[in-house]
A and B are shown apart, each in its own frame.
Chain A
Amino acid sequence: MNHSTTDTHNQIELDLLIWLLAGLLLVVIPHLLRMPFWVPTILSVLIVWRFMAAWRGWPLPGKGQPLLNVLKQVSALVIFVAVYVSYIGKLGRDAGITLLVVLLGLKLIEMHSKRDVYITCFLGYFLIVTNFFFSQTIPTALLMMLVITIMTATLIRLNEGHNSMSTLARLQMAATMLLQSIPVLIIAFLLFPRISGPLWGVQSDAYTTTSGLSETMSPGNISELTQSDAPAFRVKFDGRLPHPTKMYWRGPVLLHTDGRTWTAADASRRPAQPVSVRGEAFSYTVTVEPHNKRWMFALEMPTEAPAAARLSSDYQLLAQKPIKRRMRYSINSYPDYQLLYADRSELELALHIPVGKHIQTRKLADQLRQQYSSDETLIKESLQYFRANGFIYTLTPALLEGDSVDEFMFSTRQGFCEHYAAAFTVLMRAAGIPARVVTGYQGGEYNPVGDYLLVRQRDAHAWSEVWLDQRGWVRVDPTSAVSPNRLEQGMQIITNRALSGLALGLNENATLQSLWRSVSNTLDAVSNGWNQWVLGYSPERQRRLLRELGLKNPDWGNLMLWMVATTVIAMLIVAWWLFIRRPAHHDPLKSAYDRFCRKLARVGVSPLTSEGPIDLCRRACQQLPQSRAEIETITGLYARLRYGKSDSALKQLSEQISQFKPRAG
């Protein structure tokens, strides 16, 4: 229990090392998956070496180890050169992180004193932070909490003295301290003045891209996306939601075709002509996942672009820079709109069909043109053509070998939205109606838990837009002719039907299905909340929160003051918790006897620390003969309780002491 003076502490004990390694491994593993293969190898060698040094006494570089010292210098040099070579041409953040990992390994070998352990811990903290460049999901955050708990426990072990706490006690203490740190964490997170970076350098592209819509469309492109459940964007509506069949989220507009693949036109670069609208707008905020393109999805049709964005001449909403991080923007869209302007050259391009392609479709168009002179009737009858001729809407259509449109229209007659959109557009062009393909997303799934609409990659869609002289550009969705369900109820219907072949059993059991739905809704809502409030806590959001709290446009000084004040209050509460709350080592017998002693002290009989209860009793009886009987009873009871086994007399003793009134003799 008590220890004498000298303790060199120049050696890191094995169990401290184990704690440290446990924390560091958890930190480093997510990084290792992204590094050249030799880094994990070298790191494992260094870790094993250090572990064996502590466990079996293998020698380490240091005093009196000239050979190992030289080896260490040489290998450090070799490793730095290797890092440089691996990252030639892209020296930047990733190279820096690799260097950090390698430095950590080398530091482990050189770790002898308390200071070295701290430095290793700090390197570990930096590695945790750098992991956040790659992932900021909730599991990452939970892993971080675990690592911090282990590293805190390691520091406790380092400062504990002579291994006095059990592993569990140490972890408990670390966890308690972290829990006590959470209030100030929340205060600082909310109130610390946020400024838009960067302070130096360029905004880094922190996120990897997910697959989504592309700038071109060929048969099979969009049906591939039905495999992906990944979220494309989430929408929070202020007020009512549009009807599902009206939810078209406009993406790239494709004008050119080479017979198979559709591509966008240069028109995207020119600004938009004004949109005429009627009626009320839907007001909403979109949070779009990063996809490394400039597309900002919006309901058809917005009249104004939000800040840092513009509306192109074909009414796409485009950001100034490719979207590499999750982005949030608010828009108003009018469902009742008319796009009345069109460039002559644009319309010409919208009539173009490549030479020698789609012969049969052209013939069909001529037929229809002869029958119906009115554009609108022609469109209606074209849709009827799809309805009446056994066309199938399927996720897995047959491959198209020859002319993609002709084969689709006349032989296979099965396809997904891109087939229908492409075919319909070609048909319109052949009939002399300017038309273009619009891709984007349709519909979305409403999440009642978070009250937002989730649009996934599998909701990707393609439709057509035709030019009518009186009405301007009008949307026509051929899918509505073939699979109106898809528009009404979204892709779940289609995919579920496809999945039912897998006999998951999920489809048959309705309660299981709804349970699954509510679980996944809740998970996504939690994820969304995390995205909005933790990851998306931007300066604007902070300003909004502060306004709600009553602080209008605070400057930095004010804000810091508030932060410090609330921090002090939170710390006082923690201090109360630690100090004033009586610890668990409450000894009721002792406190009862203490009360007795205090009563005696008041009349002049101060208990000496050297006195046992019997001696005290004797002395007190001498000095206070009138209270002799009471003193003796109390002492007798106390002695029985203290030295004997019965606990039941405690209450009695307590009462006796309460009633005790010593009279000065």
Chain B
Amino acid sequence: MSAIPADPGLDSPAQTGTRKIRLGRKRIYILPTRYGVMFACVLLLMLLGSINYDNSLGYVLTFLLGSLSLVCLLHTYRNLAGITLDGGRASPVFAGQPAHFQLCFDNRGSQQRFALMLQRRNPQSMRQLLFPARQDEADWQGELRANKLDKVPIRIEHTQRGRLALGKLTISSSFPLGLFRAWSVLTPGLSCVVYPQPSGSAELPYELGAKESGQSGLHEGVDDFLGFREYYPGDSPKYIAWKSYARNQELLIKRFCGNGSEQISLDWDSLFFVPDQEGRLSQLCRWVVAAESRGLRYSLRLPGQVIPHANGNTHRQECLTCLALFKP
């Protein structure tokens, strides 16, 4: 059997500390916006008028505004320069649910940064390369507070099973006057594992041995109550501890444990009646979730991979990740 490949995108408490990206001179590009071009035309007209009518204050105003636009260029550049992206994380989700990436920006020691826009780069889109994103197209817009660490959420809808890479991001800003737009491309290297959507109506395949050992095979009421654990998306609402929720707004799942010997095998081959692969994976996914919530020990068997019997959060994750990344 092959081990699960080590993956920095996994739901680990934090990214490795070396993945810091700092925006500096080499990475930031700056160009005038269309308002900047309009501004330049206005200045040209004013300059021509001042020359024609020999008007000193007209010259003063023209040169002041011209100088202001140069200063604006520096300010816009400064709004981006020095931004440090300090890793990020993305919790795994089930297919169809939106994936939430959290990027950590380290703005300690820097001034407040305003009106920033993050957008995922679509490498096919020429338009995106040339023109600034409109505000309603941006994946995130906001600011970074001075001297603080801030987390920026990026949300991707309509996920599909597999590893969803965040890809490259364009961070841009045209603060303060909107005459110039500075942008840079970030490559955080984050990805999110998307588990298959749990579906399928097959019952959990209890092992014959367990049935014979006196367990009637019925789930309810027989198992021992083990305690509570945190709710994971996909858990059956049957096991939610509603009293606890009413008391302190925390979704908890009641755990029941079999007598320890109850274990089942979740087998790819057993799903011969499911014609397509995705269907099988979805069914297996539902089984894993159900098995975990009932406190059973379960193993996962896929073509080319076997995960031995165990239970617990880590085991669940391992199995689900295996299902997510399964390539036939």
Contacts and interface: CB of A to CB of B under 8 A. Distances in A.
Interface of A: 1-9, 114-115, 118-119, 122, 125-126, 128-129, 132-133, 136, 140-141, 144, 148, 152, 155-156, 158-162, 164-165, 173, 177-178, 180-185, 188-189, 192, 195-201, 203-204, 206, 534-538, 567, 571, 574-575, 578-579, 583, 585-587, 590, 606-610
B14 A5 contact: no
Interface in B150-180: 150-153, 155, 174-178
B110 interface: yes
29 contacts: A1-B142, A1-B145, A5-B155, A119-B38, A148-B61, A161-B175, A162-B142, A177-B68, A177-B72, A181-B67, A184-B67, A184-B71, A185-B64, A189-B59, A197-B51, A197-B54, A199-B52, A203-B54, A534-B57, A537-B56, A578-B74, A579-B78, A579-B81, A583-B146, A585-B108, A585-B109, A586-B109, A590-B109, A609-B87
Given A2-B152, A574-B74, A136 B56 contact: yes
A571 B74 contact: yes
Most B CB contacts (10 A, CB to CB) among A119, A144, A534, A578 go to A578
A118 B38 contact: yes
Contacts of B142: 1-3, 161-162
Contacts of A184: 63, 66-67, 70-71
A460 B109 CA distance: 68
Nearest to B153: A2
Which secondary structure characterizes the binding site on chain B?
A: mixed
B244 interface: no
Interface string B23-48: 00000000000010011001001101
Contacts of B87: 609
A126 B108 contact: no
A151 to B, nearest CB: 10
B176 A159 contact: yes
A188 B63 contact: yes
B55 A133 contact: yes
B224 interface: no
- Size category of the B interface is 35 or more
Interface string B123-148: 00000000000011011111101110
A173 B57 CA distance: 24
Nearest to A195: B51
A574 B74 CA distance: 8
Given A148-B65, A206-B53, 17 more contacts: A2-B140, A5-B138, A5-B141, A125-B61, A129-B50, A148-B61, A155-B178, A161-B175, A162-B142, A164-B112, A185-B64, A192-B59, A192-B63, A200-B52, A537-B56, A583-B146, A609-B14
B13 interface: yes
Nearest to B112: A164
Contacts of B56: 136, 534-537
Given A1-B142, A189-B60, A585-B146, A578 B78 contact: yes
A7 B135 contact: yes
Nearest to A155: B177
A660 B1 CA distance: 50
Interface of B: 13-18, 20, 35, 38-39, 42, 45-46, 48-61, 63-68, 70-72, 74-75, 78, 81, 86-87, 108-112, 114-116, 135-136, 138-143, 145-147, 150-153, 155, 174-178
A199 B57 CA distance: 18
Contacts of A9: 135-136
B27 to A, nearest CB: 15
A202 to B, nearest CB: 10
Nearest to B107: A585
B150 A156 contact: no
A164 B143 contact: yes
Contacts of A538: 54
Contact of B143 (A1, A6, A133, A575): A1
B57 A132 contact: yes
A74 B53 CA distance: 35
Nearest to B86: A609
Nearest to A184: B67
Contact of B61 (A129, A197, A567, A587): A129
A459 B111 CA distance: 61
Contacts of A165: 114
Given A537-B56, A609-B17, A7 B136 contact: yes
B67 A129 contact: no
Contacts of A189: 59-60, 63
A185 B176 contact: no
A586 B153 CA distance: 28
The 8 closest A-B pairs by CB, nearest first: A181-B67, A184-B67, A608-B17, A161-B115, A610-B14, A188-B63, A585-B147, A159-B178
